Structure 1
């Protein structure tokens, strides 16, 4: 079969990648599967005797049943050095990481490209719930038809050279339809399978994970102070890395009223607390941007931004500060602006690009400068 009809599928052994394999095979593709072994935790093994985790065994079984070529990529060491280290480093900087956002361009899709070249596959397919759209010379990610499963938010960092090889067969389906499709094809047990964890390498609480993989974290950070918006001390906390913006539960401090984390200052090891109203924001700073067409982003009349996975898109406009930074003005209510999380920009359902939410220090000065600039322009 010609190379154009050989397609590599990232097989996790789950519902979505299994449906992807079957669907592509029905469409006449010669499917090649690769399963990445990234991280071993006890819940990934059904029996103590297993040498490989469940997902690899399930992917192998599916490949054998479908008669497709299958490979296992043992990338545990690299995953630890790249993705897990990023996760730890971000918390140590007082930020809240997006491991899935980083994993796609830096790790999974890059490795899939390498395996596609190795196995003679022109294209790469995954079970992501999103679609693709070609405009002029660019390829854009578009939200999937199932709003509860849409995964476009996680893919904004994918470069064009990878996107132009990608195929997302499930983008036009809902999860319910995918389950029904698998059952119809004789994979009833698979169709009834459970969902995978949101962060694949976290088995319990992320704080326990940090302590396990960074044993000296408590010595390096130490206890610090909860403070209010005026800087007054409210009580001690366990260390800034154990908190995230917007957090209300697990603070272990009694103030006689609901309290939320407003800001984290890693330099001073302080965590600012306040009420829900204080979490609201009219602007935010975004850094490390990756945008397909910057002019389109700046001039888009229907621009919106999602500031966390599953959050609603918020209408906005953006001001370019310099090559890698944007000032975002919200046109509707926004809350809990969290450094380290992704800000993903949409024109209706089409992803124009994204960036990481920055620490918001100095934003008042930038807002004032922007308002002054607008005043000068309107006066001329």
Structure 2
């Protein structure tokens, strides 16, 4: 390898996974450069009074010093607020349920890693994601990690080819248990026993409290609205559509004499439709803002499945491309709680073909009836 080809930038969070990546790549002969992003400060990130840097930065710096690797801190709090936090708030204020990790990886973290890789003359970028890569016909595909309980391929469907072709996922062929054992065997017993990080790094408690804190006029802008049934009949008042998500059962604060679930959210009318669990089931789904490596491959795939939320099981399906660029998904297994704003990620076996965002499902039955001939089987 040429000198630059030996340099790899590792996104270091100070946690178990990125620490293992650094050690592993060093052992493989790479010159490791670490960068830790300071994205958002919350009290739980600071262990001692007067601490100037969050725990993850201090832990990453300590590991870098111990391994003798170059380390940088990227203070990107301003950009993170303007891009990811704004997206998160805007989605809820539009009646959708966001998945900030899906947006953060391509739009933010990997973009910044690319910038730092160029700045530090690194050919490669490595992270601790539990997924793998496979090259087919000149394209690079994401493949699920061997540890199905930790697989993170769902979050990465928006990554473009130019970034994927610089990426390394050294942990993709390992289980979390194996990673912990590896760290311990290298003399990092305390690190190996560390806890897991939060799924949404910038929210300490409940997202509703976060919305109120960062949108102090939310109750004035949205205000109370009506719970309705599937026929549009009013059932009682709610606090505002932004505080609810599809499939939600707890915290509705309405007594109907039987369990009720959020079926639909209409931000234009500020109504939240309630019903029973059976009414959450769906035969079809609309997906927008689609990003796939090869549309023709997706449309003709005979063993296609889709995941509609993180850690959900893949559901066998067919897809049809509509004239407006949306995908119409026909489920061939049971699907429930189709949630606008969440990601729909398409797989052929363990290979990610692409994904999109779940759209509002208005007129879905009519659209499905008009497009039956477009399905490939």
TM-score tier by shorter-chain length is: over 0.9
Q: Deviations over 1:38-70 (max 9, x none)?
A: 000000000121000000000000000000000
State how 1:108-119 maps to structure 2 within 5 Å.
108-119=109-120
- Is 1:126 the equivalent of 2:127? yes
Where does 1:221-240 land on structure 2 (aligned, <5 Å)? 221-240=222-241
What's the secondary structure of 2:298's corresponding residue?
Answer: helix
Number of the residue aligned with 2:216 = 215
- C-alpha displacement of 1:322: 2.9
Gap regions ≥5 residues in structure 2: none
Q: 1:78-135 deviations in whole A, cap 9, x for unaligned?
A: 0000000000000000000010000011000000000000000000000000000000
Partner of residue 322, structure 1: 323
Q: C-alpha offsets along residues 265-301 of structure 1, whole Å, 9 cap, x if unaligned?
A: 0000000000000000000000000000100000001
Give TM-score scaled by structure 2 length: 0.98
Q: Does 1:6 align with 2:4?
A: no
Is the aligned partner of 1:297 residue 2:298?
Answer: yes
CA distance in 1, matches of 2:244, 2:22: 40
Return the alpha-carbon distance in structure 2 between the equivalents of residues 259 and 140 of structure 1.
41
Match of 1:257 in 2: 258
Task: Report the equivalent of 1:285.
Answer: 286
Shift of 1:324: 2.8
Deviation, 1:342, is 0.0
User: Counterpart of 1:88?
Assistant: 89
DSSP-derived class of the 1:322 partner: coil
Query: Match for residue 346 of structure 1?
Result: 347
Q: Given the two structures, how large is their TM-score scaled by the length of structure 1?
A: 0.98
> For 2:374 and 2:321, how far apart are their aligned partners in 1?
14
Do structure 1's residue 57 and structure 2's residue 58 form an aligned pair? yes
Provide the rounded CA distance (Å) in 1 between the counterparts of 2:245 and 2:374: 34
For the aligned residue pairs, the C-alpha RMSD in angstroms reads: 1.2
1:206 matches 2:204: no
Equivalent residue, structure 2, for 1:150:
151
User: CA separation in 2, counterparts of 1:282 and 1:43?
Assistant: 43
What is the aligned partner in structure 2 of residue 360 from structure 1? Answer: 361
SS at match of 1:16: helix
Partner of 1:101: 102
2: distance between equivalents of 1:363 and 1:285? 7
CA apart distance, 1:323: 5.8
Which ranges in structure 1 are unaligned for 5 or more consecutive residues? none
After TM superposition, give the deviation of residue 364 of structure 1 in Å: 1.5
Aligned to 1:219, what secondary structure does the other structure show?
helix
Q: Provide the C-alpha distance between the structure 2 equivalents of 1:364 and 1:299, rounded to a whole number of angstroms.
A: 23
What residue number does 2:242 align with? Answer: 241
Which residue of structure 1 aligns with residue 337 of structure 2? Answer: 336
SS of the residue 2:322 aligns to:
strand
For residues 17-32 of structure 1, the aligned pairs below 5 Å read 17-32=18-33
Helix, strand or coil for the counterpart of 1:310? coil
- 1:165-204 aligned at under 5 Å gives the runs 165-204=166-205
Equivalenced residues, count: 376
Partners of 1:193 and 1:368 in 2: CA distance: 52
Q: Can you list the C-alpha shifts for 1:347-368, whole angstroms capped at 9, x where unaligned?
A: 0000000000000002121111
Map 1:134-145 to 2 at 5 A: 134-145=135-146
Provide, for residues 308-347 of structure 1, a one-character-per-residue CA deviation record: whole Å limited to 9, x for no partner.
Answer: 0000000000000036310000000000000000000000
Deviation at 1:197, TM superposition (A): 0.1
In structure 1, how many angstroms separate the alpha carbons of the residues matched to 2:191 and 2:61? 14
